[in-house]
Amino acid sequence: MSRMLLFPGQGAQAVGMGKDLCGASPAAKAVFARASDLLGFDLLALCAEGPAEELTQSENTQPAIFTHSAALLAAAEEQGLDLASVAGAAGLSSGEWAALYAAGVVTFEAAIRILRARGRFMQEACDATAGGMISVIGLDAAACEKIAADAGLVAANYNSPQQTVLSGPAENIARAEELAAAAGAKMAVRLTVAGAFHGPLMRPAADRLAEVLAAETFASPRFPVWSNVTARPHGEAASIPAMMLQQVYSSVRWSESFADMAAHGMTEAIELGPGKVLSGLARRIDRNVRAVSASDLPTLLAAFAAGSN
């Protein structure tokens, strides 16, 4: 059994996240308390009670989802679960920072600082230029890339072999919708997002984030962490900051990343964080990999126990 950890990114948040976990795990509650001290407000209260409008702001969402994932790791350690068997990790978009944290590349404090800034800079880029995203379901990547090119968009997220998210100027989204329908897509769903993530409109956010990353220290991963940009494991510490800057405005090659993890012998994937998006995508990419999700203590215990049977 080769176990991989998956970490969700922005969009997975929901009011109530972390509440049950912190009620059952002192270690998880302590992680949220550390994050609150760093952020200057009660993060657990925001996650548990909302309001949703405040939780969904990028500068809050990104550190919140990371903290939930980190709290699950702390709860797993507290419970004596087998973290030593972890063979690798990956995270979707901002979730890649949680994967790097799990592998010892960045400290908890550094990840909070980075994600707070990353979220703020991305929101400012969204405010500067009206952008949008649309998820095309039922067409392969090549067909979606053609739609994107014809509509003046880019392929932002390769989520599964039959789901690709397109990103770009808001005024071009309707054209992509028409082209997807004409090409025979099962669905083309406009996403409720602040702007055009993982495309050229996010370059200003990456430029600003560069100064933040330059002030942080990075270590080499203890186990492989798959890069959203290359769909291959990160290299040594020195190469990681530049790759994570590029990640802000580059396509998320999630489907290819997961397939490569499986090719490296992964047989089990545990999603740590709110929601079940990544475990759901996993089943569409490679059904031979057992994929489960954990967001609270019972599901965490069940996820690790099932993999040991």
For 213-248, write each residue's pLDDT tens digit: 999 999 999 999 999 999 999 999 999 999 999 999
**Please, what's the largest Cα pairwise distance for the chain?**
54
Q: Indicate the angle between helix axes 108-128 and 26-39, nearest 10 degrees.
A: 50
- Mapped onto helix, strand or coil, the DSSP state of residue 294 is strand
pLDDT, tens only, 102-129: 999 999 999 999 999 999 999 999 999 9
Residues with catalytic function: 93, 198
Tokens standing for residue 165: 């998210």
Q: Are the C-beta atoms of 300 and 80 separated by less than 8 Å?
A: no
Q: What is the pLDDT of residue 192?
A: 82
Q: Which fold has domain 130-190?
A: Alpha-Beta Plaits (3.30.70)
Tell me where in the chain the CATH 3.40.366.10 domain(s) lie: 3-127+200-308
Tokens standing for residue 308: 């040991």
Q: Which fold has domain 3-127+200-308?
A: Malonyl-Coenzyme A Acyl Carrier Protein; domain 2 (3.40.366)
Amino acid of residue 245? L
Tell me where in the chain the CATH 3.30.70.250 domain(s) lie: 130-190
